[in-house]
Amino acid sequence: MIFNSFSLNITVFHGRETPEEGILVGYGALIEVFNLAVPLPEKLALISYKKRQYTNDHWIVLTSRHLPEDTLYKHLVFALKYEGVNLLVLKKLFEKLSENQILELIQEEPTGQYSRRLWFLYEWFFQKQLAVNDLDKGNYATVIDDKLQYAILEGERSRRHRVINNLPGNVDFCPLVSKTEKIENYINANLSKQKSNYLKAIKIDVLQRASTFLLLKDSKASFTIEGESPKSKRATRWGKAIGQAGTKDISKDELLRLQQVVIENSRFIDMGFRKKGGFVGEHDRITGEPLPEHISAKWEDVELLIDGLITTNQILLKNSIDAVIAATVIAFGFVFIHPFEDGNGRIHRYLIHHLLAKKSFAQQGVIFPVSASILDHIDEYRKILENYSHPLLELIEWEESKNHNVRVLNQTVDYYKYFDATKQAEFLYDCVNDTIENIIPQEVSYLTRYDEFKSYIDNEFEMPNAMVSLLVRFLEQNDGKLSKRAIEKEFKSLEDNEVSEIEKSFKSIMLE
């Protein structure tokens, strides 16, 4: 199997500029030669003529000594060695090859680790055995190189292939996350321990009150992200559900229950798993034509994908893998599938809470208000969602249905099974770090200052709690000054000098 197209230099590939002229190798070469309908990997590999070796946001540049022989097998070996496992590219490639070509491929180095990994993945994808005898000797190789990508530590041994299946998922749902400097720095910083140490230093009554406020704050933030402004009762109800994250296992029934909690009025919504197309976006104001920003999984594939997601969730909980990586895979996988007509975004963020609690990153019962941080970084959040969704728009064939929905025409299930969640993991870790460094301390600091101000008011004026709360609200709304209306109505009992003293104390304690 010889390639003939790699003797040409490239400076641009599918609209992506190279940092210098070079030879396209690995997954990029496979995508080009076999015309694979996949989004471009976040990073592609290039052989430099300048004997330079470096990486940037989109390219892994290597020297001519890394140039593989121009055969399919050698480009696959290069890809596995330097780019990691790309399940989507491999699945689409295997679909283009005959079984005889696959047999020829893995017989090039029958006992080599790369042959064995490819052999295992082919049989894993298609759930059938090739006409190859089981291996009876040789060291075990891992399917995922954990120097390049995150994998489970307790993988199952396949005696037939002499490999350890350390994939962080199952054949029906297995997103992967590459190791990056940012993620590794966060993991090494042990944010969970930092959070625990910080919380231990807080008085228990302050922590309990902070958790109550943060619960409501997180619930309201999750609605606001969806462009909704719910009544306090509805936000409180969803906040209560968030507070229970980690106590119930994720199942189809549990996901349906969560949707019922989110959707208060279901008169205009078909509840449960979708039985029609779905997309996120707008409609043309004149024609009603769909203008999708994201196209959901085909409704016929939804339950298969959700079954796969639930199984992967169990694998990630049972095995050692970073909590934030696990939360990324499950939560973003869920929102990309978009299994419900409505409620997907809030349940997606609930799943972040759930995985962080289940993996003991966040204490169950002590809210970890990551939605509040997401809201504070809403533009980056949208970009992270688009990082997955927009490349797929060019690959999904669809037509408008009678009710101005989308009807997907091609097979798309693999796009939701096997995606790269690296950018999403980096974003989620940013939000987790922001929550620990800023959002929780700010709330605790506020409550501590509030208690100090309340103590001053109690000592000087013996004011009821409800009136203290009203006083603080008025002062906060007016930059530390009581309005003329408040002085003449709710606080008419105060003397002018008392008002001045209260405003001075409020500024000193609450604002400075």
Reply yes or no on whether the pLDDT at 135 is more than 70.
yes
Nearest to 176 by CA among 148, 134, 197: 148
Phi, psi at residue 383, to the nearest 5°?
A: -65, -35
- The pLDDT of residue 439: 84
| % pLDDT > 90, the chain | 67
What is the spatial distance between Cα 92 and Cα 108, in angstroms, rounded to a whole number?
21
Cα–Cα separations (whole angstroms), residue 417 to 182, 275, 296, 413: 25, 19, 12, 6
Q: What's the pLDDT at 211?
A: 67
Confidence band for 444, pLDDT divided at 50, 70 and 90: confident
| Banded pLDDT at 6 (limits 50, 70, 90) | low
The two three-digit tokens of residue 255, written as one number: 């996901």
pLDDT for 347: 93
Cβ atoms 154, 320 nearer than 8 A: yes
For residues 281-306, give the mean pLDDT: 94
User: Residue 316 carries which side chain, given as an amino acid letter?
Assistant: L
Task: Give the pLDDT band (50/70/90) at residue 51.
Answer: confident
**pLDDT (tens digit, 9 = 90+) per residue, 319-338?**
999 999 999 999 999 999 99
Question: What pLDDT does residue 146 have?
Answer: 96
pLDDT of residue 496: 92
Q: What is the pLDDT of residue 363?
A: 60
pLDDT > 60? residue 195: yes
Query: What's the average model confidence in pLDDT over 70-99?
Result: 96
Which of 88, 77, 92, 83 minimizes the C-alpha distance to 35? Answer: 92
Residue 258 pLDDT level (bands cut at 50, 70, 90): very high
User: Is 15 within 8 Å of 1 (Cβ atoms)?
Assistant: no
Per-residue model confidence as pLDDT tens digits over 445-459: 888 888 899 999 999
Residues 80 and 114: beta-carbon distance below 8 Å: yes
Strand 290-295 to strand 279-283: parallel, antiparallel, or no bridges (unpaired)? antiparallel
The 10s digit of each residue's pLDDT in 137-178 is 889 999 999 999 999 998 999 999 999 999 999 999 999 999
